Chain A
Amino acid sequence: GENVEQHPSTLSVQEGDSAVIKCTYSDSASNYFPWYKQELGKGPQLIIDIRSNVGEKKDQRIAVTLNKTAKHFSLHITETQPEDSAVYFCAAKIGGAGSQFYFGTGTSLTVIP
């Protein structure tokens, strides 16, 4: 199956700074890459996703970039705020509608006011 690695495992930034989380994947057939935010005691919440035919996608302060050649994708959060503090997970999917999703091990982001 797919192997998704995520770095760093913990990240602290000052409020207003940017945060970058990186993931690599092993299977070049992976074609869909979602990112999730998980707050304490809650389930993961989809925040942004990107498909393999797109290099970059933005949604307000959040952006995701994909480099298919290098098999890595990154989450960028700009102008961080304390409410961005959470655990972030990347994931990758191979194949069609009923396919499995493989998750990274998570990054605990702390935004210091």
Chain B
Amino acid sequence: NAGVTQTPKFQVLKTGQSMTLQCAQDMNHNSMYWYRQDPGMGLRLIYYSASEGTTDKGEVPNGYNVSRLNKREFSLRLESAAPSQTSVYFCASKGQGETFGFFGSGTQLSVL
């Protein structure tokens, strides 16, 4: 099925550990996004990539890095995880038109 695939679905880290969240889309979309979702705060943009080869900071980029590996894949890295990064992370992609409707199923991350 076409869509946005995120891995892993769940992850528990200790403070200071690193990890990479993977995201891939098979819809030939140019733009890809990483959001975090916290209770009562909606979705906040961490980083986005408007096209292959470009990345830009969103609202809450501190503590994260991203890589747009190719047109399909956009990864999010936590170099030294902190408890404040406990959240649900969503990857999304968008094609040329306005419609923004393709989200992955999320990664629930806990940092102890």
In the bound complex, CA of A112 to CA of B96 (Å): 40
Is B48 in the interface zone, CB < 8 Å from A? Answer: yes
- A13 CB to nearest B CB, Å: 21
Q: Is the Cβ of A42 less than 8 Å from the Cβ of B106?
A: yes
How many A-B contacts are there with CB distance less than 8 Å?
65
B35-72 toward A: CB 8 Å interface, digit per residue (1/0)? 10000111111001011000000110000000000000
Partner of B99, one of A42, A46, A100: A46
Interface residues of B, count at CB 8 A? 28
Partner of B98, one of A4, A43, A44, A49: A49
Partner of A98, one of B50, B92, B99: B50
In the bound complex, CA of A44 to CA of B48 (Å): 17
In the bound complex, CA of A49 to CA of B98 (Å): 9
Task: Enumerate chain B residues within 8 angstroms of A89, measured Cβ to Cβ.
Answer: 42-43
Q: Is the Cβ of A45 less than 8 Å from the Cβ of B40?
A: no
Task: Enumerate chain B residues within 8 angstroms of A41, measured Cβ to Cβ.
Answer: 105-106
Classify the secondary structure of B's interface with A: loop
Is A51 in the interface zone, CB < 8 Å from B? Answer: yes
Residue of B nearest to A99 (CB): B50
Answer whether A43 and B40 are a contact pair too, CB < 8 Å, given A1-B59, A98-B51, A100-B58. no
In the bound complex, CA of A9 to CA of B105 (Å): 23
In the bound complex, CA of A11 to CA of B94 (Å): 30
Answer whether A103 and B42 are a contact pair too, CB < 8 Å, given A43-B90, A44-B90. yes
Task: Enumerate chain A residues within 8 angstroms of B100, measured Cβ to Cβ.
Answer: 32, 34, 46, 49, 91, 93, 101
A interface residues with partner B (beta carbon < 8 Å): 1, 4, 6, 9, 32, 34, 41-46, 49, 51, 89, 91, 93, 97-98, 100-106
